[in-house]
Structure 1
Amino acid sequence: MKIICIGRNYAEHVVELDHTRELPDAPQFFLKPDTALLRNNDPFYVPDFSREVHYETELVVKINRVGRAIGERFAPRYYSEVGLGIDFTARDLQRTYIAKGLPWEIAKAFDHSAALSPSFIPLAELGGNVQNLHF
């Protein structure tokens, strides 16, 4: 499984975390490895390498077709279900690594840092358009 994450796409959260940074022109992409999944309703443990773990509720779009270089207008053909997730972040490490201009995957991709809902809901049941979901 590949977990593709999009960061810095929620303007209010960007401002909340760092008032001095400009909003990016485009979202940032990062990956979480398969080992980041918190499976089988297992408990989450705060990693011992961080003193400041934050969590965010995320909309999870399940991609159900293989594709590459997909035009924006064709993107909805590649997903049909959504779920919820919790993205755990070692925020103290993330700030440190970003300030040094280094990759910050250690803050996002650690073991069990991605919890997913046990099932996904067909978009058709929710109105069919992922851009119009409110929760």
Structure 2
Amino acid sequence: MNLENCPVCGRLFVRSPFRDICPSCHEEEERQFQTVVQFLRRRENRLATMEQIVDATGVPETLLVKFIKSGRLTLAQLPNLGYPCDRCGKLIREGRMCADCSKDLQRQLEMAKKEEEQKKKQVFRTYYTDKERNGR
């Protein structure tokens, strides 16, 4: 049994593998999810941006991002929605990072790998002076 404090309200609850918040906060989250779903069911609202959904429903952006990342809101029919890249904050529709940050991270990894290879190839040589060679 995992007892934890709810990250939303601070109450003690038994954490399950399926929920990271207490039952009362989960109920509130479900109510807010239904509010968002009802809003997006109307065809004219499917083109809404994150900001427009927040303004119309009162549901915080962080919760909308949670719904998207968990797969509860699918972006296929919501062309103007996205969530921030974990690295730069640019809006994306899949993954954790935008294409630019992914490329930059890949480039940095390749550079680090090359540096490691260079260090392995480095040969340390010992040079002696004439004094040491002749034993003087």
Of structures 1 and 2, the one with the larger relative CO (CA 8 A, separation 6+) is 1
The TM-score, its normalising length taken from structure 2, stands at 0.21
**Larger radius of gyration between Structure 1 and Structure 2:** 2
The TM-score, its normalising length taken from structure 1, stands at 0.21
